[in-house]
Amino acid sequence: MQDLPRTLSEYFDVARARLAPGTAAYFLNGAGAELTLHRNRSDLEAIQVLPRVLRDLRGGNTALKLCDRNFAHPILVAPMAYQTLLDPEGESACAAAATAQDTCMVLSAQAAQPMDRVRAAGPECRWFQLYWQASRTATMTLVQRAADAGFEVLILTVDAPVSGVRDGEITAGFALPEGVGPVNLQGLPIPRFVPLGDGESALFDRIAHILPNWEDVAWLCANAPLPVILKGILAPQDAMLAVQAGAAGVIVSNHGGRVLDGAPSAISMLPGVVAQVNGAVPVLMDGGVRRGVDVFRALALGARAVLVGRPVACGLAVGGALGASHVLRLLREELEVAMALSGCRRLDDITPDRVIPPAPLSPAGSGNSVE
């Protein structure tokens, strides 16, 4: 059996040491001064977990139902582009790992392997992430490809519309090696922009016209053959707009601190989003989860499930499918330990009174006003 790290933190250390500097920066670093990246972690760590003792834990489990499907636990694999940079088997290895650990993987639109191949390697890769394409027609073409491949849910990333125009997340100074690219976007139109005129803005005068708005989201939710969950919601008002547009759920996320450096942490905005949505749709969270106790913290503040990216990327880089599977198993085991020590037998027992958050994490902005 392959010799793997024993802890989640060791996976990060080994992965950063093994990966080429540019690849490590692409997957593990954040934007700018990395304020948001670090805030995701520090705000999670500031939440104390209250032990409860002498509880009857017999028959406990981590099961839940989400989007009409039963899940063994609430730890999902977040969408990550170009995973062949981490391991030769890339997304296929990650899908196999998720399937081995009875969880759902979200396949990135910028995956380096065909969606059919990935789903064949791991049938629990059931959700497909996409960015808005150059037009409604192009977006629906990609949606239909995902539906035809057997995906069950669409995750529309809305917090990086500019970088998501095409090869969205390539960081400055890092270029994809030859042979690696978004294979599932082949044949879709690439936006073409005319040269700037005097005094024009590249963003507002040449790009903004193809970016999606709430009317586009409502159109997609009404016409897509699959339910649509919006990923990248932080403001409670936007969560309510998502519900009004027909979204089947929202994911509280700041893109792992990779887009707007200075944005608030995902966990700090979670209570307000949960309060605003008020049970209309499930609320998930993505951002900063590194340990099983972080999963517990997010669930206690109202998340139905969490998505993890960087820990799984590290597992994939260190040990391929086996490493990614081991990371997911460690996260689940740590969640179970946190549940047991806080007296929670099932996920429904993980209520807000099981944690002590700092004051800023109380539900803020939870009024009914919508901008």
Concatenated DSSP letters of 345-371: SSGGG--GGGEE--GGGS--S-SS---
User: So what's the pLDDT on residue 359?
Assistant: 74
CATH number of the domain enclosing 122: 3.20.20.70
Between 79-93, 252-266, 322-336, 347-361, the lowest mean confidence (pLDDT) is in 347-361
| Cα-based distances in Å from 127 to 104, 227, 335, 337 | 7, 10, 23, 28
The structure tokens listed for 223 are 């016409």
**Cα(245)–Cα(219) distance, integer angstroms:** 8
155 backbone dihedrals φ, ψ, rounded to 5°: -115, 105
Residues 329-350: pLDDT tens digits? 999 999 999 999 999 999 999 9
Domain membership flag for residue 294: yes
Which of 161, 205, 181 has its CA nearest to residue 114? Answer: 181
Concatenated DSSP letters of 185-212: GTTSPPP--PPP-TT--HHHHHTGGGS-
Which residue is associated with the tokens 């609430």? 74
**Cα(328)–Cα(311) distance, integer angstroms:** 8
Domain that holds residue 160: 10-172+207-355
Query: How many separate domains does the chain show?
Result: 1
**Cα(30)–Cα(317) distance, integer angstroms:** 18
Domain membership flag for residue 137: yes
* Degrees, nearest 5: CA angle 87-11-358: 125
**Cα(131)–Cα(230) distance, integer angstroms:** 10
The structure tokens listed for 206 are 């040449």
pLDDT at 188 over 60: yes
Give the pLDDT band (50/70/90) at residue 51. Answer: very high
Q: Which of 38, 73, 255, 326 is catalytic?
A: 255
Give the pLDDT band (50/70/90) at residue 89. Answer: very high
Give the pLDDT band (50/70/90) at residue 213. Answer: very high
Q: How much of the chain exceeds pLDDT 70, in percent?
A: 89
Average pLDDT over residues 213-217: 97
The structure tokens listed for 152 are 């069950």
64 backbone dihedrals φ, ψ, rounded to 5°: -155, 165
pTM: 0.93
Domain membership flag for residue 202: no
Domain membership flag for residue 200: no
**Residues near 155 by Cβ (< 8 Å), separated by ≥ 6?**
79, 106, 127, 128, 129, 130, 228, 229, 230, 231, 251
pLDDT at 214 over 70: yes
Kindly give the residue spans of alpha helices, DSSP state H, lying in 50-188: 90-100, 115-121, 136-148
Domain membership flag for residue 16: yes
* Whether residue 255 lies in the annotated active site: yes
Domain membership flag for residue 2: no
Amino acid at 260: L
Domain membership flag for residue 54: yes
User: So what's the pLDDT on residue 370?
Assistant: 40
CA diameter of the chain? 72
Domain membership flag for residue 361: no
The structure tokens listed for 20 are 């080429």
Average pLDDT over residues 171-186: 84
